[in-house]
Amino acid sequence: MDPSKIKILIVEDEEILLTALSEELKQEGFVVVGAKDGMEGVEMAIKERPDLILLDLVMPRLDGIGALKQMKENAEIKDLPVVILTNLSDYDKISDALSLGAMDYLVKANYRLEDLVNKIKTVLERRGAQAVATM
């Protein structure tokens, strides 16, 4: 898997975290685009067609659950893999996101860059295996 061919959309309202995640993933070789809230995230997903979306749950204008619902209802982007990023230990919201079609989640305070990169690769590999299985 060549990271330079993988585009990741990060939807995160905390500017410092968005910048830090973007820089970390760029250093790993990924192509990264960012959005500052759920509404912008849905627009960027349609425009950019990323290979994977990292989606925060708590954001202004449109939260992560609302953004995820809109993404899954849009035929053009409904199959894009989504990994939830959250500070919450609110398992109800995480459970809601997973039932709406998110593939996995990470609690922001509990991961290292290595964990994030491994999670991205695992989700993309699972996604690839699902695509092959449906052919």
Name the residue with higher pLDDT: 134 or 77. 77
What is the predicted pLDDT for the residue at 113?
Answer: 78
Amino acid at 111: Y
Out of 9-18, 22-31, 80-89, 97-106, pick the least confident.
Answer: 80-89
What is the predicted pLDDT for the residue at 15?
Answer: 94
Angle at 34 between CA 96 and CA 65, to 5 degrees: 15
Question: The domain 3-133 is classified under which CATH number: 3.40.30.10, 3.40.50.2300, 3.30.565.10, 3.20.20.70?
Answer: 3.40.50.2300
Domain boundaries, the chain: 3-133
How many other C-beta atoms lie within 10 A of the C-beta of residue 19?
A: 13
Report pTM.
0.91
Name the phi and psi angles at 7, rounded to 5.
-100, 130
Name the phi and psi angles at 59, rounded to 5.
-145, 160
Does position 112 have pLDDT exceeding 60, yes or no?
A: yes
What is the predicted pLDDT for the residue at 5?
Answer: 86
What is the predicted pLDDT for the residue at 132?
Answer: 47
Output the average pLDDT for the chain: 89
